[in-house]
Amino acid sequence: MKQGDLVVRKSYRGDIVFRIADLAGQGAVLRGTDYRLLADAPLADLLPVRNPDELSGTRQARIQANESIRRMREERNRQSNRAGVYPQTPERRQPYFEIPGKVLHLDGDANYLKKSMQVYAQLRVPAEGIHCHESQMPGMLIRLLPQVRPDIVVITGHDGVLKQREDLHHLGNYKNSLNFVHAVQVAREYDRHRDSMIVVAGACQSHFEALLHAGANFASSPARIMIHALDPVYVAVRAAFTPFRDTINVTDVVSNTISGIQGVGGIETMGSYRVGVPNPKVPAQNVNIV
C-alpha cells in the first residue's frame, strides 16, 4: 500500500472509505473520502478498494450529497423569489441585483475544497477557498481576513476523537479541534460581532462546545459523530442567502444537513444576503420600480 490508495478498515467492517494520507512504519494516517474523519490504523487492518462506488456506504454518501445540493438549490431559488429576483432573460429583466454573503473557506482537504468550491460556483455564492493543514489555519486567517473581508468564514478539514480517550471535554483528546479553536479565536479577534461575520467551524467528532465558546456561530459535532464533507458548505450557503434582517433558522438549517442535528449545531444568527437597485445590467431607461 502507498500514499493516496483507497482503503477500508477490516475492524470496522469496511464502513468508511479512506485515502491513505501518510505512512509511518506499520501504520497509516487515513482521511475519509466522503466524511471529514481523520483516523489512524495499522496496515494489517486495511483492505484496498478498487471501486468505491460499489460499496453501499459510499453510494449512500453520494446520494446524500446530491440531496443536500438539491436542497441548497431550492433554498437559493426560494430566496430569489422572495426578494423579487428572477433569472435574467432577454424577455424578462428585473431592476434588482443580489449580494449574497461572501465566503472564505479554509479546508484541510484539497479534494473537499474542490467539491465545496464547485457548489459555491453552481449556486453563485462569492467564495474564496484556501487549502492548508489545520494547524496552519490560525496564521492563514491573520493574513487573509483583512484582504478578503468575508461575511462568512468556514474553518474545516478533518478531525476525530483519539482512541481510548474517554474524556470528551478535554481538547487534547481530539486530533484537530484545538487547531480549529485557535482559528476561530483569530477570526473573533478580527471581528467580534457574530452577526457581521459568521463563523462555521469543525469536522467529524469535533469539540462542539469549545468551538462555540471560542466564537463560532455554527459548529460540529454535538454528539461527536461523523459529518459529511458538504455539511459546512450547506450551512454557509444558507447563511449567504438569508436576508441580513432575518435570523437564520438554526433548527431548519442543522436538521437539513446530511449529518443532522447530532452532527451540526449553532446559535441564533442574522443572515448576510442583500438586494440592491438598480441592476447595472439593465439600461436605466428600462428600469421601472414600483
* Average pLDDT along the chain, 290 residues, taken 10 residues at a time: 89 84 90 86 90 66 76 77 54 72 97 94 96 97 98 97 81 96 98 97 97 98 93 95 93 90 96 87 49
At 165 the pLDDT is 65
Sign (positive or negative) of CA dihedral 84, 86, 88, 91: negative
- Number of folded domains that form the chain: 2
Look at strands 46-48 and 265-266 and give their pairing: unpaired
> Nearest CA to 234 among 191, 266, 275, 206?
266
Residue type, 12: Y
Domain co-membership, 17 together with 161: no
At 275 the pLDDT is 87
63: in domain: no
Domain co-membership, 257 together with 135: yes
At 57 the pLDDT is 61
CB distance 137 to 183 below 8 Å: yes
Domain co-membership, 106 together with 193: yes
Domain co-membership, 47 together with 177: no
96: in domain: yes
At 118 the pLDDT is 95
286: in domain: no
67: in domain: no
Quote the domain boundaries for residue 222: 72-276
At 89 the pLDDT is 46
Domain co-membership, 124 together with 28: no
For 247, other C-beta atoms within 10 Å of its C-beta total: 12
| Dist. CA 153–CA 217, nearest whole Å | 10
CB distance 60 to 50 below 8 Å: no
At 82 the pLDDT is 65
174: in domain: yes
> 30: exposed, middle or buried (C-beta count within 10 Å: 0-12, 13-18, 19+)?
buried
CATH of the domain at 170: 3.40.50.2300
267: in domain: yes
At 287 the pLDDT is 43
283: in domain: no
C-alpha grid cell, residue 202: 469543525
